[in-house]
Structure 1
Amino acid sequence: MSPTGYYDKFNNSGDKIIVSARGANAGYVNRISTPYWAGNSCYSIGIKNSLILNWLYVYYFLKGNEKKLIGSQQKGSIPSVSKKQIENTLIPIPPLDVQAEIVRILDTFTELTAELTAELTARKKQYEYYREELLSFEEGEVEHLPMGEIGIFQRGKRFVKNDMISEGFPCIHYGEMYTYYNIWATESKSFLSADLVEIKKLRIAEKNDVVIVAAGETIEDIGMGTAWLGDEGVVFHDACFTFRSKLNSKYVAYFTRTKQFHDQIKKHISSGKISAIHANGLSKVVIPIPSIEEQERIVGILDKFDMLVNSISEGLPKEIELRQKQYEYYRDRLLSFPSLSEL
């Protein structure tokens, strides 16, 4: 929960717990240490007696019950969590020194995750900087040519989400280009029946083709490419193009994520409810063409950055995921106390 804005007055002192009252995130729990102005879309929870309860202990307890609160949303045109639902939440009250120790331990985990997240943000900026630098060349330093002169664009054919199954012939739906695929892929997330591929004469990307998404809700969404490196071909959606050339396919995929690429395609994108670009527009994009050896060197450097900032099996995202799971495990263990009937 982030501030929706800033105001020169406040109606709550700091050291409070905030619970979202309405909307899709009703039940979301956060904390704030400084004075703030609270609107009617959230509940502010303070502690009546600090000799009995540590407010941060209460925060961590409610944070641990966040999923339960969100799951108990009152449904309607706007989901909500009532004040009574929060007031009826039972909380175990161990001695203050125990509460303080629990807070200390959980604060340590929270700070570690925050540090890793900050490092990830910094590394992403560093990655973006080097990607732009490595893929930028002065005129005359290397050849620059329109992509349409050095490769072939082919548009996919239409299939719908309901056609997709859990196994069969690999396929890429254009929506998955935003949510699942990155620089390169060897396996698909989704599949189609081989019969459907044959009946509809769907188009197939081969190894080393670059699949480029050509439609999206915003101009910024369009143009990202994924190098297909699978030994088996993959069907691609009609809101995508493949680009086939003699260039290193990962070099091309990295290029489609640069500012210079997106600055060039903007003028060729038709805007509307769904923005789109056609092969003619993509063909006019000028790409720098260093030697194959230089392309491979650039890809090698960028692969290391990409692994560090995007890999869910290694790198910082994996480290953050592990620390978050560790925090949640200890939070649940530390905040679990036997009821009086169990003693």
Structure 2
Amino acid sequence: MSRIDELISQFAPSGVRHVELHQVASYSDTRVDAKELDKTNFVGVDNLLPDKGGKTDANYEPNTDRLTAYAPGDVLLGNIRPYLKKVWLATNAGGCSGDVLAIRIREDERRALTPEFLYYVLSSDTFFAYNMQHAKGAKMPRGSKPAILKYVVPIPPVEVQHEIVRVLDSFRALEAELEAELEAELEARQVQHSYYWNALLTPRTSWRRTTLGQIAEVFDGPHATPRKTATGPWYLSISSLENGRFNLASSAHIGEDQYETWVRRVAPRLGDTMFSYETRLGQAAYWDRDEPAALGRRMGLLRPKESEVDPRFLTLAYLGPELQSLIRTKTVSGGTVDRIPIANMASWPISIPSIPEQRRIVNVLDSFDALMNDLSSSLPAERNARRTQYEYYRDKLLTFEKAVV
């Protein structure tokens, strides 16, 4: 038998009182002058953090002279878009905007109900599901204040409340510790990745000096924007460039009727490197598909001469320290945007190793990328698994048999 079971058996053997929230708490009915508030004690709905993240300091001032006051121990709820799960247990006194509800335990119930226990009840997924069920409005749903006060809450003996709060606090602390460890591991790997990236792509004296035009053809993309469609050949825009590869989730399509006209100058082929020469300067990506695609505006293309350079290495070299330094040096400031003078790029100097060494570097950096991707995907997966586990145990701990009246 757990400690909580022992306490329930001792203090509530016949079950636990269940009441509607309005029987033990109410909305704050006190007010505070705006001049008494600052960024640390004014709470607007924007500085309540989603997913039960508490609050951060406000970045704007109140827009009314008098506001609802809150006190230590009040539970503050964001009342716009309840699905964002914005909730905070107040640790200080202050004031909140009209879109934040300050729920305060009634004076005559403070011996029977602790603020910490009420916070856990009102930050449960069960409560937020109830709140959304009764919310009003489609685009910007708001919680129903009357319905919130009708939410049924358990009131176990305070000894049980204290033990449940202790267990849930410990669980949250362990969750935060694990998350910090995972993020520290990811940060360490990122530092390591950056070190090897620069070390492997920094030219050595044994590398051959040549020009970009000697190892690749340089093409300029279109200077207009096509009509986008839901299907058809890929339209590879600047926004789809991401860490040396294309994020096709950020790409669009162009219709078959436009395709032939659009790609008249150049159509991307498997193995090409595409880059931005106006916005997001220095970004490039490798095209790893053998299917129709169209080059977006303000995009350039490098087509490798495969006897001179490995196609994947060309993309890495573009993103490496030598060419990135040239990009910073040769970028021309324009009226509204800076740009790379693409017409001169063929003459840019570049150093490259032998083809076997290029392929070795590609394999090493691809392995690092795979490791980084695994870590980057495992962090949110581990976080979600922990939160799911936490919510499961929270619901278990907050579920009690009703007392027979």
Equivalent residues of 1:146, 1:283 under 8 A apart: yes
Structure 1 residue 265, shift from structure 2 partner: 0.8
| Structure 2 counterpart of 1:277 | 340
Task: Please report how far the alpha carbon of residue 235 of structure 1 lies from its aligned counterpart in structure 2 after TM superposition.
Answer: 1.2
How many residues of Structure 1 are paired with residues of Structure 2 in the alignment? Answer: 318
Gaps of 5+ in 2: 1-48, 50-55, 60-69
Correspondence 1:89-128 to 2 at 5 A: 92=153, 95-96=160-161, 97-128=163-194
2:244 aligned partner, one-letter code: I
**Aligned twin of 1:173:** 237
Alpha-carbon separation, structure 2, partners of 1:293 and 1:60: 62
1:166-315 equivalent positions in 2, closer than 5 A? 166=231, 168-177=232-241, 181-184=242-245, 189-202=251-264, 203-216=266-279, 221-246=280-305, 247-267=309-329, 268-271=331-334, 273-280=336-343, 282-309=345-372, 311=373, 315=374
- The 3 A distance-change label for structure 1 pair 277 and 321 is same
TM-score by length of 1: 0.70
Structure 2 vs 1, CA of residues 338 and 329 (structure 1 numbering), >3 Å: closer, same or farther? same
More displaced stretch, 113-122 vs 266-275: 266-275
Q: Quick check: 1:171–1:236 contact (8 Å CA) kept in 2? A: yes
- Out of 87, 102, 119, the residue aligned to residue 58 of structure 1 is 119
Indicate how the Cα distance of structure 1 residues 34 and 269 shifts in structure 2: closer, same or farther if over 3 A, else same: farther
Give the 3-state SS of the residue equivalent to 1:215 in structure 2.
coil
Report the equivalent of 2:383.
Answer: 324
- Amino acid in structure 1 at the alignment position of 2:316: Y
SS in 1 for 2:363: helix
Conserved 8 A contact 1:265-1:285 = no
> 1:8: which partner in 2?
none
Tell me if the contact between 1:116 and 1:320 (Cα under 8 Å) persists in the aligned partners.
yes
Matched-pair contact (CA < 8 Å) for 1:61–1:91: no
Question: What is aligned with 1:150?
Answer: 215
The one-character-per-residue Cα deviations of 1:166-218 (angstroms, maximum 9, x if unpaired) are: 4x2223122222xxx432359785332222102434531111110112232xx
Deviation at 1:241, TM superposition (A): 0.8
Any residues of structure 2 matched to 1:331-342 within 5 Å, and which?
331-336=390-395
- In structure 2, what is the Cα distance between the partners aligned to 1:89 and 1:271? 62
Q: Which moved more, 1:153-162 or 1:298-307?
A: 153-162
User: What's the CA shift for 1:237?
Assistant: 0.3
Kept in 2: contact 1:186–1:230 (CA 8 A): no
Query: Sequence identity of aligned pairs in percent?
Result: 17
User: So what's the TM-score if we normalise by structure 2?
Assistant: 0.60
Query: SS where residue 191 of structure 1 aligns?
Result: strand
* Cα distance, 1:272 vs structure 2: 5.3
Q: 1:292 to 1:35 in 2, by over 3 A?
A: farther
Taking the aligned partners of 1:13 and 1:261, their CA distance within structure 2 comes to: 58
When Rg is computed on C-alpha atoms for both structures, the one with the higher figure is 2
Distance 1:334 1:101 in 2: 10
The one-letter code sitting in structure 1 at the alignment partner of 2:235 is: C
Preserved CA contact (<8 Å) 1:19 1:43 = yes
Query: SS state of the match for residue 120, structure 1?
Result: helix
Describe the SS at the equivalent of 2:297: coil
Q: Which amino acid aligns with 1:105?
A: F
CA distance in 2, matches of 1:215, 1:43: 44
Partner amino acid, structure 1, of 2:271: N
Matches of 1:136 and 1:89 in 2, distance apart?
Answer: 66
